[in-house]
Structure 1
Amino acid sequence: MNLSQEVITRCEFRARLGISEEMLNSLLSKCSVFSLGCGNENSFPAVLSEPQHDRRRLFSLCRIIRPAPPSARLSFLTSGHGALRGKSPVEALISKRQFCLVREIASAWASEWSRTIVTVCIGAHSTAPVQAPAYVAIDEVDPRRCVWARAAGAMQYGGYVTPDAPYPYARRATAFITRKSAGCSKETVDAKLDIAILGRVCFASIHLRERSPARYRLVLSADRLDVVEVLGEIVGVMRRESLEKRRKHAREASGQVQGRHFDVKISFWMF
């Protein structure tokens, strides 16, 4: 069923949750809750503060649907869904089994609000040229995912690819990985790749948003690959490297936590 989309003031919202202004700002920064409107007069969905709902699950759900505009998020949370037998996502939070289903539905829905676009142009370019690109792949995917995972998804499983193969062979190419939100005409460039191909050796200068350029030398899997195949191999290498970095970071973080626990135990036994 559809729930009320009533909104309340910031002060009332904070009072219902029983939290401080600092805690509310923390929840907002993590997108665990969201407001409607702008400035100091913004209002909050009352449904996020109602005590009968599992707030831990509800706040987790809010973080998943963050890519969508606030008004769309409220509509999603309070509207009935066929996959939930007419229940709204908020109503389905009671059951752990249904909560898992709600998370899947929310992830798929959130992905629809952002598109990742992979564009390949022949030659060296500082910005996307006016002429038609050699290759374009588009996929609806959560923008919070790693840029290389999003690019790989667009190239391998993208819902829209143009033109069809075969693709050209070239010694120089430029690839742009951009992101575009629904209802917004502007694209955000997440990565730009300057590619030079010499036989089975590829040199790639990779410019990630807000990072210094990095240069890579790759040995390709075959002597003669078209520009799309070359880009696919570069993206695959970068995706594996990114995954390994995240795993290493997770291991280090886990080691630090275990180390702190160990120190506490030693201190206990010393005293």
Structure 2
Amino acid sequence: MLLCSTPLDEEVFDLVSNDRQSKRDSGYGTINHEDLLAMQERVTRARRQQLATGDLLTREQLRVRLQVTNKGLSTLISAESIFAFDLDGEDVFPSLFSDKRLNLQRLYRIAKIIAPAPPESRLDFLTARSGALGGRAPLELLADDVDYKELRRFASGWASEYSRTSVSFFAGEQVSVPLDAAPIYIAVVEVDPRASIWKRALNALISPGHRKPHEAPIAPSAFVAVIERVTLGHSGKELEAVARCRLDEGRIHVSIERRVQKDVETMTLVMPLEGTTVSDAAEHVFRALSK
């Protein structure tokens, strides 16, 4: 479920929806403040009840049940092998993470795979029956080796839907950021955000996915490739890198600015030019950077 205060960026929205106007008319992607507060209050009441019945556990309750040290529990949390919900400013954990009837090691591995999704969605994934899994819930597929292998594949695909990486191309070398012009080409892919930026950007160009226009244009003598990430449930896009490219006598000269937390890393490279389109040129660059 997507809950955000503003619609997704129009370029990305255009690529993932053929019916943008009807979704806007129905309020898709927006929720008013009063409804949000009421929903949060219902969630809080439900979590308090689940804590009282033992379906949710405090950090100390979970530590005792697992018979681990505080450090051991912190390791599980930081590795995203287990996840928590916020209740009155404290973390509470689904009790299934301490259910000794389950193969907990496999459960923790699945939880790590689906970590890109919000905690509520992750819990629903683990406990809800799925037609794609033969009408079974993921928790039912942990014991059997064949079932577990299928579950891992299914979980990876499911988790990738919560994050999209886009590569947008703009003609000219002095394109300003933030962007104030329409791209000449954009490619978007659903992919795990924990993969490296260059692998995700490469996947956007070579994997079946969303394209606009359908065919990549011939590369101009200078262009800029902008890599951004959209996370469902969050408004706007996160700028990750800008690659300014110049073609000269069969070579591509690239100047890269990459956002790393609050810092900006820069690098330059010169490579032989391969292909004729902006996608061809960028693919060659991203493939080299992802090695």
TM over 0.5: yes
Closer, same or farther: CA 166–35 of 1 in aligned 2, 3 Å: closer
Closer, same or farther: CA 98–138 of 1 in aligned 2, 3 Å: same
1:205-244 to 2 correspondence within 5 Å? Answer: 205-210=255-260, 212-221=265-274, 225-239=276-290, 242=291
Mapped partners of 2:87, 2:267: distance in 1: 39
Closer, same or farther: CA 207–13 of 1 in aligned 2, 3 Å: same
In the other structure, the counterpart of 1:36 is 85
In the other structure, the counterpart of 1:264 is none
In the other structure, the counterpart of 1:48 is 97
**Conserved 8 A contact 1:137-1:158:** no
Deviation of 1:58 (Å): 0.7
- AA aligned to 1:190 is E
Unaligned residue ranges in structure 1 (runs of 5+): 243-271
Give the aligned CA root-mean-square deviation in angstroms: 2.0
Could you say which structure has the larger radius of gyration? 1
Matched, 1:142 2:209: no
Mapped partners of 2:143, 2:111: distance in 1: 16
- AA aligned to 2:62 is F
**Conserved 8 A contact 2:227-2:242:** yes
Deviation of 1:147 (Å): 1.8
Deviation of 1:168 (Å): 4.3
Deviation of 1:166 (Å): 5.4
Secondary structure of the corresponding residue to residue 252 of structure 2: strand
**Of residues 154, 170, 174 in structure 1, which corresponds to 2:220?**
170
* Aligned-residue identity in percent: 31
- AA aligned to 2:241 is A
**Of residues 61, 64, 68 in structure 1, which corresponds to 2:113?**
64
**Conserved 8 A contact 1:138-1:158:** no
In the other structure, the counterpart of 1:104 is 153
Matched, 1:180 2:252: no
In the other structure, the counterpart of 1:77 is 126
**Conserved 8 A contact 1:207-1:214:** yes
Secondary structure of the corresponding residue to residue 117 of structure 2: coil
Mapped partners of 1:55, 1:228: distance in 2: 44
In the other structure, the counterpart of 2:60 is 11
Give me the TM-score of the superposition, normalised by structure 1.
Answer: 0.81
- AA aligned to 2:143 is I
Deviation of 1:91 (Å): 1.6
Mapped partners of 1:32, 1:68: distance in 2: 13
Deviation of 1:237 (Å): 2.2
Closer, same or farther: CA 153–44 of 1 in aligned 2, 3 Å: same
Tell me the number of residue pairs that the alignment of Structure 1 and Structure 2 aligns: 235
**Conserved 8 A contact 2:274-2:281:** no
Mapped partners of 2:159, 2:216: distance in 1: 33
In the other structure, the counterpart of 2:244 is 194
Tell me which moved more, 190-199 or 69-78: 190-199
**Conserved 8 A contact 1:204-1:217:** yes
Deviation of 1:176 (Å): 0.9
Deviation of 1:125 (Å): 2.3
Mapped partners of 1:99, 1:105: distance in 2: 10
Mapped partners of 1:62, 1:164: distance in 2: 36
Unaligned residue ranges in structure 2 (runs of 5+): 1-52
Deviation of 1:5 (Å): 9.7
Matched, 1:156 2:156: no
Structure 1 residues 72-104: Cα deviation after superposition (integer angstroms, max 9, x where no partner): 100100111223322211121011111101100
Mapped partners of 2:227, 2:54: distance in 1: 37
In the other structure, the counterpart of 2:49 is none
- AA aligned to 1:159 is G
Closer, same or farther: CA 107–199 of 1 in aligned 2, 3 Å: same
**Conserved 8 A contact 2:163-2:192:** yes
Matched, 1:203 2:256: no
